[in-house]
Amino acid sequence: MPSITEEEMVFFISKLEHRTIAKHDFFVKEGQVAHEMAVVHKGAFRLYFTYQEREQTGHFMFEGQWIGDYESFLTRKPAANNVEALEDSEVFCLSYNNMQQLYSMGAQYERFGRLIAEYVYLVAMNSYKSLLLKTAEERYLELLETQPQILERLPQHYIASYLGIQAPSLSRIRNKLAARSARG
């Protein structure tokens, strides 16, 4: 397996562009080609799409996680999703052209690309399976377990959108869990 030297890592980092994104601004907008992916340095994002005039949140991204519409990034076709900053944020962007340049430089950079692709795939599959196979309450409990900071950082209507329910239903779930916790 190829390893990365310090010099190669410095070169990789030199291909990243630091950017600040204001709260409610978009990193990717539906209908536009995603020309870059980014890793979140500071902040929070949500990936969502609109279906029948209703927003459905597919995933939340925080520090250390990759953001973007990977399908659009790879195919060079318009994005089907939006990636919106939920806080004032900082990211490090990797453009499509820089990624291709890195790939052409050897297996060590192709490995980086493969690891990013695997990460994006696993996140998407986990969200897909969770939405299909788990109840809203189960998904909420999973969210609390895997991303406990989410309740302090994000508005309830975004969490409800992620769960595929309306905000009043989320309130019922939270009250039910609080009552169960108080009893037990």
The edge-to-edge listing of strands for the beta sheet with 54-61 is 26-28, 82-85, 45-51, 54-61
Contact 66, 99 (CB under 8 A): no
Mean pLDDT computed over 38-64: 91
Q: Tell me the C-alpha distance between 39 and 179, whole Å.
A: 39
3-state secondary structure of 176: helix
The average pLDDT across 163-174 equals: 88
CA–CA dist 157, 179 (Å, integer): 22
Phi then psi for 95, rounded to 5 degrees?
-75, 160
Q: What tokens were used for 158? A: 């975004």
- On average, the pLDDT of the chain sits at 89
Answer with the residue of higher pLDDT: 78 or 162.
Answer: 78
**What pLDDT is attached to residue 120?**
84
For residue 38, count CB atoms less than 10 angstroms from its CB and return exposed for 0-12, middle for 13-18, buried for 19 or more. Answer: buried
What b/e sequence results for 103-113 when a residue is b if at least 16 CB atoms lie within 10 Å of its CB, and e otherwise?
A: eeeeebbeebe
Share above pLDDT 90 across residues of the chain, in percent, rounded to a whole number = 47
Highest mean pLDDT among 89-93, 113-117, 155-159 belongs to 89-93
pLDDT of 4 > 80? The answer is: no
Query: Residue 27 has what DSSP assignment?
Result: E
Average pLDDT for residues 158-184, to the nearest whole number?
Answer: 86
pLDDT at 3 exceeding the cut of 80 = no
DSSP H stretches of helix in the chain: 6-14, 70-75, 96-103, 107-133, 136-146, 150-153, 156-163, 167-183
Highest mean pLDDT: which of 3-12, 53-62, 107-116, 122-131? 53-62
Confidence of residue 1 (pLDDT cuts 50, 70, 90): very low
Range with top average pLDDT, 9-18, 21-30, 128-137: 21-30
As a whole number of angstroms, the distance between CA 45 and CA 136 comes to 21
